[in-house]
Amino acid sequence: MSRILLIFALCSTLVAAACTTSTPIDTANSGVYRIRNADKVQFRMLDSVNALREAAGRAPVQLNAELNAAAATHSRDMSVQNRPWHFGSDGSSPLDRIARTGYTGDLVGEAISETYESEVQTLTAWMEDPATRSVVLDPNAANMGFFWFQEPNGKLWWTLVMGS
């Protein structure tokens, strides 16, 4: 039953996102998704994550500036390395990155992605994978950091960091 509610919540979130924002497609660049309204992307992701958490009986999370900074740094660094993985080019771990920003809570987990898809499509893929799904729905999470880096060719590097 809870799985059905979770699927319903995700579908509702996706429908709501489709109604409130249009998918920006850059027709001059082979139909690649382009970030528009960048100031709203984090809030769309926060709303989507919290809808999924609510459907799973979890408390909502809030955006955290320090975790956003850690996510932004890692998204750009993954692009520089040209590979999606949890370690920075300087050998840093997610724990190191949140400590550098001054975050005083504990790391709950990190989800990353290399894609040409929107944030909602990326969240959908994360929810289909048990490891990243557990990060999004972790009951200990209270704070969320989320950011991306988009290369000129359209490739997106997404990072979501959850903290307690």
pLDDT higher for 134 or 6?
Answer: 134
Asked which of 18-27, 123-132, 135-144 is least confident by mean pLDDT, the reply is 18-27
Q: Which domain does 44 fall in, by range? A: 38-163
Query: Which CATH number goes with the domain that contains 66?
Result: 3.40.33.10
Percentage of residues of the chain with pLDDT beyond 70 = 79
Domain count, the chain: 1
pTM above 0.85, yes or no: no
- Are 151 and 159 contacting, i.e. CB atoms less than 8 angstroms apart? no
Amino acid in position 155: K
Q: How confident is the model at residue 19 (pLDDT cuts 50, 70, 90)?
A: very low
Q: Is residue 31 part of a domain?
A: no
- Are 21 and 40 contacting, i.e. CB atoms less than 8 angstroms apart? yes
Q: Is residue 2 part of a domain?
A: no
- Are 161 and 155 contacting, i.e. CB atoms less than 8 angstroms apart? no
pLDDT of 13 reads 41
pLDDT digits (tens, 9 = 90+) for 89-128: 688 899 999 999 999 999 999 999 998 788 989 999 999 9
Q: Is residue 90 part of a domain?
A: yes
Q: Is residue 4 part of a domain?
A: no
pLDDT digits (tens, 9 = 90+) for 2-18: 444 344 344 444 334 33
- Are 157 and 127 contacting, i.e. CB atoms less than 8 angstroms apart? no
Q: Is residue 70 part of a domain?
A: yes
Q: How confident is the model at residue 31 (pLDDT cuts 50, 70, 90)?
A: low
Mean pLDDT taken over the chain = 83
Q: Is residue 12 part of a domain?
A: no
d(CA 31, CA 78): 23
Q: Is residue 56 part of a domain?
A: yes
pLDDT of 42 reads 93
The yes-or-no verdict on residue 67 having pLDDT over 90 is: yes
pLDDT of 85 reads 67
